[in-house]
Structure 1
Amino acid sequence: MLIESLAQKTRLAMITVLATVGGCVLICGFTVWCCISLVNRERDQIYILDGDIPFLAERAQLEANFTMEAKAHIQLFHQYFFNLPPDNDYIKWTLGKAMYMADGTALKQKQAMDENGFYSDIISSSAVCTVMCDSISFDEQERKFIYYGTQLIKRRTRDLKRSLVTTGYVESVPRTRNNPHGLLITNWRTLENKDLDY
């Protein structure tokens, strides 16, 4: 009778200890999960100070802004590549900026234009080239774009308006000072560059 009572008490003590340890593990696990989710939520919030007043700003996901950033990158690249005044140093600077934003296909096109005397013609004739973006068609799945623009070449004797259509792909790369969008234009080529009117 005494041994039976001791066995029951030992079993009851063991069950109590196991239940207590199990409960502690569950409570600790739940606490850790709550802390991790709270920290992750706090990381998505950014506070901006205006003087002494903090404002809460939500950090957006990269995918939500990808199309917008890709279009801005494409437009900026075309501005650097095609907005050219009759200043050799400025042309070199803008083309250098454009080369950070695209792969070797842009360099090949620049070299072809240089060999055809395009840049020297701009400088010698005091021409001013500007490009205006009409629209950008962007396929988010393939990351392919088609840029539609109007190029205006102003010379002393006449003004020339040309249609400009280019295409290529956009690839993600690390962000740098020279490439703030963290994107690279690949397989870039001109589909159309024809005179519209004088």
Structure 2
Amino acid sequence: MFSHLKNIDTAFKHIRQFSLFLIIGNVITMCFCIYKSTQAVNLAQSRIHILYNGKLLEASATDRKSNLPVELRDHIKSFHEYFFNLSPDDKAIQANVGKALYLADESAKRQYDNLRESGYFNNLISANISQEIKIDSTRLQGNQWPYLFTCYATEKLVRSSGTVYRKLVTQGEVRDIQIQTDNNPHGFLIQHWEILANRDSTIQN
């Protein structure tokens, strides 16, 4: 009889161990399934389908931080192109500079007022000078807002007597205003902007 009870006790221990292993195995399997399901959902949410010219294209959504330097450089580039791409027409100048002022604070407005008071824009109009800018490089500094930047560019002034190339260097800060609009699609604002250098480099007759 004691032998029979011992066998029952041993069998019960085996069943208990087996049940414990089974429960642990089920918990591990469930955790793995939940992890893989979450991973699959996140992957599916990061894929965007775009209909372009009747074709279905797949795009990937990424975190803004991974694309932040590109967005900052594009914002800085857009501002400088609006501010310095000028034609000999007062309305065109005001329209372009107006677009630039949406991307910067009052420091850009001060620079514009200084150029206007010095007769810079009147000289462009009276001499029929077209001005274009090409961004050579943009250096970003810092790891947190506001980001410091230095922009290096080349200005091309075309007039009837020849072409003048100027080296332009500006610096400032970029702040995230967290509001994106049609006039400011990146939601950034340039502040404390100043022109460090704007001098002739070459003249072509």
> 1:172 corresponds to which letter in structure 2?
D
Shift of 1:41: 4.4
- Indicate the SS of the match to 1:46: strand
Q: CA 1:156–1:50 in 2, change beyond 3 Å: closer, same or farther?
A: closer
| Bigger Cα displacement from structure 2, 119-128 vs 140-149 | 140-149
Determine the C-alpha separation between the residues in 2 that align with 1:134 and 1:50: 32
1:34: Cα distance to partner? 8.4
Q: Which runs of 5 or more residues in structure 2 are unaligned?
A: 1-26
Paired residue secondary structure (1:86)? coil
Secondary structure at 2:160's aligned position in 1? coil
Q: Which runs of 5+ in 1 are unaligned?
A: 1-25
Matched with 1:18 is none
Find the counterpart in structure 2 of residue 186 from structure 1: 191
C-alpha distance in 2, partners of 1:167/1:111? 18
Q: Does 1:110 align with 2:112?
A: yes
Who is 2:6 aligned against?
Answer: none
Give me the CA root mean square deviation.
2.4
Q: Using the alignment, how far apart are the partners of 2:63 and 2:176 within structure 1?
A: 15
Calculate the TM-score normalised by the size of structure 2.
0.74
For the residue of structure 2 that corresponds to 1:153, the secondary structure is strand
Residue 154 of structure 1 aligns with which residue?
158
Q: Report the AA paired with residue 46 of structure 1.
A: I
**Whole-angstrom CA distance in 2 between matches of 1:52 and 1:159:** 45
Q: Match of 2:150, as an amino acid?
A: I
Over residues 15-46 of structure 1, what are the superposed CA-to-partner deviations in whole Å (9 max), with x where a residue is unaligned?
Answer: xxxxxxxxxxx9xxx89998877655443221
Change (3 A) 1:56 1:196: closer
> What do residues 133-161 of structure 1 show as CA deviations (whole Å, max 9, x unaligned)?
11111125151111001112122224322
Give the % identical residues: 33
The match for 1:65 is 67
1:49 matched residue in structure 2 = 51
**SS of match in other structure, 2:65:** helix
Contact 1:67 1:140 survives alignment (8 Å): no
Q: Number of residue pairs matched? A: 171
Aligned residue for 2:4? none
- Quick one: distance in 1 between partners of 2:201 and 2:40? 59
The residue that corresponds to 1:12 in the other structure is none
1:123 — aligned with what?
Answer: 125
TM-score (norm 1): 0.77
1:79-98 equivalent positions in 2, closer than 5 A: 79-98=81-100
> Whole-Å Cα distance in 1 between the matches of residues 157 and 52 of structure 2?
44
**Preserved contact between residue 86 and residue 128 of structure 1 (Cα < 8 Å):** yes
Q: Distance in 2 between matches of 1:184 and 1:139?
A: 16
CA contact (8 A) 1:153 1:161 kept: yes
8 A Cα contact 1:47 1:56, kept in partner = yes
CA distance in 2, matches of 1:158, 1:52: 48
Q: Supply the distance in 1 between the matched residues of 2:140 and 2:73 (Cα, whole angstroms).
A: 8
